Structure 1
């Protein structure tokens, strides 16, 4: 019978360990959100996408988050109702509208990120330099995993 150590060295074992660790960190970062922020994680993701790209159509946002356009339309409508995003006509395609982040949306996103980044920075100080280096190298790999189909 394989030992726990041997199982954790297999790809399946690594997958299980990684999933558990990432989910724990996600939960903790969710707890560390700005206390005044009542937006869902999905809404915050949309604000992040718009902050990085300036403006996108609902279809582009839906594809980026791998959700159906009607779901993204509901998210964008909620953000628009709250003043976090605006919609405007597409410059070259009159059938579409583009969504842009507002000053309120940007401020909300950045305040939330700042608080969570501060918590994480404190936690990183408890690690050794070698451990921080491993995480520095792992971060882009984890991001690639998150983008996979």
Structure 2
């Protein structure tokens, strides 16, 4: 948990997005367009809360809403170029921070992390 908090703290100081808003941008970057309901479920928040988050992101130019061509009743949230560049900039900053920290580890410690990574990934995927 401390590592996650530290990685979050390495986000770009150029924007003041909430953690939920940043997570929404990340989800859209990884998964592509999603409905408000799917975003709310992914972030484990109520739909009205996600609506407020997406509205704020839309007002800032990070996302747009588009009709779902497959389901005329649904609206998809789409990442704009600004949203995508924000996600990539944040990821680059976090990756640089982590790379600097990993270089300070011993080769044995880096090997332990390399072997543990798949186990940690499986744990993260368990609901």
Superposition TM-score, scaled by structure 2 size: 0.90
Q: Structure 1 unaligned runs (5+)?
A: 1-21
Query: CA, structure 1 residues 136+37, in 2 after alignment: closer, same or farther (shift >3 Å)?
Result: farther
Within 5 Å, give how 1:7-46 maps onto structure 2: 22=1, 24-46=2-24
Moved over 3 A (4+): none
Q: 2:48 aligns with which of 70, 82, 85?
A: 70
**Greater Rg by CA:** 1
SS in 2 for 1:100: strand
Q: CA deviation at 1:144?
A: 3.0
Give the direction of change, closer, same or farther, for the CA distance of 1:63–1:140 in structure 2 (3 Å limit): farther
Conserved 8 A contact 1:37-1:112: no
Distance 1:77 1:140, change over 3 A: farther
Alpha carbons of structure 1 residues 36 and 124: separation in structure 2 relative to 1, 3 Å: same
Q: Distance in 1 between matches of 2:55 and 2:96?
A: 31
Residue 148 (structure 1) aligns with: 126
Larger mean CA deviation between 114-123 and 132-141 belongs to: 132-141
SS at 2:95's partner residue? Answer: helix
Q: Distance in 2 between matches of 1:29 and 1:98?
A: 29
Q: Which residue of the other structure, out of 32, 47, 64, is the alignment partner of 1:54?
A: 32
Gaps of 5+ in 2: none
Higher relative contact order (CA 8 A, sep 6+): 2
- Please tell me whether residue 123 in structure 1 is matched to residue 105 in structure 2: no
How far did residue 125 of structure 1 move? 0.5
Residue deviations 1:35-73, cap 9 Å, x none?
202111111111111111221111111122222211211
Offset of 1:145 from its aligned partner? Answer: 2.5
The equivalent of 2:78 in structure 1 is: 100
